Structure 1
């Protein structure tokens, strides 16, 4: 694309999407409108799907691990992750959507698990979303190694129940 993968021009969008410029502007108003629509769609479909799978795992260690492993290696968090780093610091509306995505993940993780040996599951739940985002970032960057698997297993064990 003309301005690099991170900043496509309207001409790039029109060409790659196969739509007319007027259709793009009528539907989304601007490139930012298109971006916000895509981000909100990701929250409503991809993040919501992950939240549903975490909830459905019911805190069972193996099921929770499988859901988290899929989230770490899959792409469903990527747009939210990129928005958190690139646009949220300079765009309040993007920050709000990203915050909603993280809050949804926090609520899902907070609803599963057991108290563990020390009786305090809140500490594990408080780090679950940041750990998930961090692990996904490492995988996406190509720098992931075996510690990703160990971290995912540890998180699932802490959040889950046998």
Structure 2
């Protein structure tokens, strides 16, 4: 999205985003941080009440984590500040999953996080979650 697209969509003067956020990157970082607070934080709270792998997978696959995933794929490799935000967010999700399921070592929780985040990309979340739970059940 160009700055022109942004100001047209928002109906503001072309200089307004720069005055408020300093740059297009500044706006991106603000939106990413807001996403982490508004979408990832509630997921962490919900994971605290999860009691089994199926519940964890349902929570993670139903959460709106699109911006986190896009940031991880597109911006984190080229922007150190975005990489730090993404890494910290994913680490908190890993810890929440590990705590909810009593998983040790933490690497298993990271693998479960990666699998859960990939489920929407692969298709039917319920079908994939059921298969994962069936096969991971003995491990957790």
Q: Which stretches in structure 1 are left out of the alignment for 5+ residues?
A: 1-7
1:94 pairs with 2:74 = no
Write the mapping of 1:76-115 to structure 2, written as runs, cut at 5 A: 76-114=64-102
Report the number of matched residues: 140
Q: 1:85 to 1:159 in 2, by over 3 A?
A: same
Decide which structure has greater helix share. 2
Q: 1:54 to 1:146 in 2, by over 3 A?
A: closer
RMSD across aligned positions (CA): 2.7
| 1:123-152 Cα distance to aligned partner (Å, 9 max, x none) | 6424121111221332xxxx4476413245
> Partners of 1:145 and 1:40 in 2: how far apart?
26
**Could you tell me which residue of structure 2 aligns to residue 42 of structure 1?**
35
CA contact (8 A) 2:54 2:130 kept: no
CA contact (8 A) 2:47 2:96 kept: yes
- TM-score, normalization: structure 1? 0.73
> Partners of 1:69 and 1:14 in 2: how far apart?
37
1:131 pairs with 2:119 = no
Deviation at 1:73, TM superposition (A): 4.0
